[in-house]
């Protein structure tokens, strides 16, 4: 079942550079879908369009069968799209719990409001348990290893209701051990019914983790395939 369709997206930057030309991306609910291609192929641009941080010149976006207009990241989040960039956007001097609830509406936390630490810790701890993350939510982000900072970013997106989670080259900053842990985590999210778009240019990672892949080249879509079909040994 298709959860996301980006249909014939064209994105031209202000300097006239065509970063996406008639790109189509179809993603099924509950799959881990790789978005592959060399540096400069247009992967980040396509995801910026999906997240509402770039506006396309042409094309349609359909989420759960309904055509949507995504004008900014808040609208993307409201539609269940979550983004984990390569560069983390966390406040180092705040705790994990504070980072997780930062900027969220007080009404989501009952009568206490988001500044009540005990309440914040409870919400954060419950989210960790729900999604299977092992984190001490009372620790400051600046004390964390990169892999744990990334977990906080993923949790932030999930707490905000991300059904479609986009990860922009998430393994680039991780150790092999952290990468292995991330893959376990992503498979668990898949089991919970989440859909994952995994941006990568490592075929070995795609082979290990993903169900299907779409390849971009020079701003155009080369096509979509089932990973097992294109990596089969004979």
CA distances, 126 to each of 10, 104, 129, 140, 146 (Å)? 41, 16, 5, 18, 22
The first and second tokens of residue 26, run together, are: 């179809």
Q: Which of these segments, 11-19, 57-65, 108-116, 117-125, binds ligand ADP (CB under 6 A)?
A: 11-19
Q: Minimum Å distance from CB 209 to ligand ADP?
A: 19
Residues 6+ apart with CB under 8 A from 170: 84, 86, 150, 182, 198, 199
Contact pattern for ligand ADP over residues 12 through 31, marking x by CB under 6 A? -x-x-x-x------------
Any idea what DSSP says for residue 103? T
| Closer residue to ligand ADP, CB minimum distance, 120 or 216 | 216
Site size for ligand ADP (CB under 6 A): 12
Residues 43-102 within binding reach of ligand ADP (CB under 6 A)? 43-45
Q: Minimum Å distance from CB 14 to ligand ADP?
A: 6
Phi, psi of 155 (to 5 degrees): -60, -40
Residues 117-146 within binding reach of ligand ADP (CB under 6 A)? none
| Closer residue to ligand ADP, CB minimum distance, 42 or 147 | 42
Contact pattern for ligand ADP over residues 32 through 51, marking x by CB under 6 A? -----x-xxxxxxx------
Q: Minimum Å distance from CB 109 to ligand ADP?
A: 32
According to DSSP, the residues that pair with 81 across neighbouring strands are 164
For the chain, the C-alpha Rg in angstroms (whole number) is: 18
Question: Cα(111)–Cα(137) distance, rounded to whole angstroms?
Answer: 21
Question: Which residues make up the interface to ligand ADP (CB under 6 A)?
Answer: 13, 15, 17, 19, 37, 39-45
């Amino acid at each position: 079942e298709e959860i996301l369709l980006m249909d014939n997206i064209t994105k031209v930057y202000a300097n006239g550079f065509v970063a996406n030309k008639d790109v189509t991306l179809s993603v099924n609910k509950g799959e881990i879908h790789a978005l592959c291609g060399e540096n400069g192929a247009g992967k980040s641009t396509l995801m910026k369009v999906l997240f509402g941080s770039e506006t396309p010149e042409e094309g349609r976006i359909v989420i759960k069968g309904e055509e949507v207009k995504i004008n900014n990241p808040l609208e993307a989040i409201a539609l269940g799209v979550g983004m984990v960039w390569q560069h983390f956007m966390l406040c180092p001097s705040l705790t994990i719990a504070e980072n997780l609830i930062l900027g969220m509406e007080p009404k989501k936390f009952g009568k206490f409001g988001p500044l009540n630490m005990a309440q914040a810790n409870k919400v954060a701890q419950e989210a960790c348990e729900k999604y299977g993350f092992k984190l001490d939510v009372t620790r400051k982000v600046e004390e964390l290893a990169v892999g744990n900072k990334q977990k906080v970013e993923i949790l932030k997106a999930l707490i905000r209701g991300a059904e479609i989670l986009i990860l922009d080259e998430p393994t680039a900053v991780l150790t092999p051990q952290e990468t292995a842990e991330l893959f376990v985590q992503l498979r668990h999210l898949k089991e919970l019914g989440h859909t994952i778009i995994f941006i990568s240019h490592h075929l070995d990672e795609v082979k290990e983790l993903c169900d299907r892949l779409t390849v971009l080249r020079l701003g155009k879509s080369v096509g979509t395939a089932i990973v097992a079909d294109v990596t089969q040994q004979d």
